[in-house]
Amino acid sequence: MLSRVRDVVRRHGLRGVAHLAVDRVGPRQRVAAVYVWYAIDLERADRPQNPLPEGFVVREATIADVASMQQMTSAHTVTITEEVMRERVLNGVKPWLAISDDGRVAGLSWVFTRSLPLRGRYELVLPDDVAGFEDTVTSREMRGRGIAPGLLTQLGDILPRDGVRAIVTRIDVDNAASHRAVQKLGFEECARMRVVTRDWRTIVQMVVPPGDRSYAWMTGQVERTRSPNPLGRALRRATTRRDAASGSEPPRER
Ligand SMILES: CC(C)(COP(=O)(O)OP(=O)(O)OC[C@H]1O[C@@H](n2cnc3c(N)ncnc32)[C@H](O)[C@@H]1OP(=O)(O)O)[C@@H](O)C(=O)NCCC(=O)NCCS
């Protein structure tokens, strides 16, 4: 054993051995997911319109819709249970549905205001006039018929009544159908997000490309605020909002 150690030291030197040791036991980093963030300015005059198929309507979901919403499963979205629905609605998150001409739930999208959950304890704090679409899903048998674009188009008309001027949404870099669906609506890439696991920790990194700085606020608004202490969380959010109000560019300037 001792002779093996002596051999390794001779080959790599003391410093080399130290490096090898750090490599063996030091932090391990892995990119767990990459997301593309998209944004749209709802006040844009040339915002593309993608109407729902004839006879389809949009309405807010109620607790009575949970069973239908539960059927809308996908690898990219959370499965809706009564508990998820109640928790989200209590936090001001609104579920919206596209209903088919024969009364079935065809599409679902959640509208987040104030903040969007990211990963682990991270969330994106949203300015007052920005909402986020999350967990958008079309029922399997209705995909490819423009349901999601139709639902999101209509929400783009409904949300400004509550002062929303821009919408952001994130899509897994490999989710081709989703990229296509939002690009048809005029959403443009505004940031990239990496979820990195380093040993047992999860780290969220947001990068806004150089050039258009309209969404530069996104990097400053990623927070580890999901603390078990709700008071601390509320205080941090209030402080961030004050900073955002005094410092960052409003997103409508796109
Ligand atoms: C993403 C999703 C919501 C799109 O809904 P939809 O109602 O089917 O939307 P569309 O009818 O516009 O179809 C999507 C577009 O993607 C295209 N598309 C479908 N599969 C595709 C693929 N594998 N690669 C590239 N494009 C694809 C369709 O052809 C269509 O584009 P087109 O109109 O130019 O032909 C739906 O596919 C879905 O529910 N996926 C699972 C859940 C999910 O991934 N949600 C997004 C979370 S961010």
Check which CATH number belongs to the domain holding 185 and give it. 3.40.630.30
* Residue 58 forms part of a structural domain: yes
Distance 2 CA to ligand 1 centre (A): 61
**Ligand 1 atom closest to the CA of 175, numbered from 1:** 44
Query: Taking 80 as the threshold, does the pLDDT of residue 234 lie above it?
Result: no
* Residue 94 forms part of a structural domain: yes
CA–CA distances in Å: residue 170 to residues 11, 151, 161, 162, 191: 49, 17, 23, 22, 9
Distance 176 CA to ligand 1 centre (A): 7
* Residue 232 forms part of a structural domain: yes
**231: phi > 0 → left, psi -120 to 50 → alpha, else beta; which?**
alpha
* Residue 244 forms part of a structural domain: yes
By DSSP bridging, strand 105-112 and strand 115-117 are: unpaired
Query: For the segment 88-107, what is each residue's pLDDT rounded down to a tens digit?
Result: 999 999 999 999 999 999 99
Q: Measured between alpha carbons, how far is 191 from 208 in angstroms, rounded to an integer?
A: 4
> In this predicted structure, what is the pLDDT of residue 232?
56
- Counting ligand 1 atoms within 8 A of each CB, the residue from 136, 139, 174, 184 with the most, and so the one to mutate, is 136
User: Please, which residues have CB within 8 angstroms of residue 31's CB and are 6 or more apart in sequence?
Assistant: 194, 195, 196
* Residue 11 forms part of a structural domain: no
Query: For the segment 37-83, what is each residue's pLDDT rounded down to a tens digit?
Result: 999 999 999 999 999 999 999 999 999 999 999 999 899 999 999 99
Tokens in use for 97?
A: 């549905």
> 3-state class of 252 per DSSP?
helix
> 3-state class of 46 per DSSP?
coil
Most confident of 8-17, 184-193, 200-209, 239-248: 184-193
Nearest CA, atom 3, ligand 1: 137
Segment holding 131, helix H or strand E: strand 130-138
Nearest CA, atom 35, ligand 1: 144
Nearest CA, atom 5, ligand 1: 148
* Residue 1 forms part of a structural domain: no
Residue 220, domain extent = 36-253
Number of structural domains the chain divides into: 1
**What is the CB < 6 Å shell around ligand 1?**
74, 76-77, 136-138, 143-149, 171, 175-178, 180-181
**Ligand 1 atom closest to the CA of 134, numbered from 1:** 48
pTM confidence score = 0.81
Kindly report the CA angle at 35 between 137 and 119, in degrees rounded to 5? Answer: 85
* Residue 4 forms part of a structural domain: no
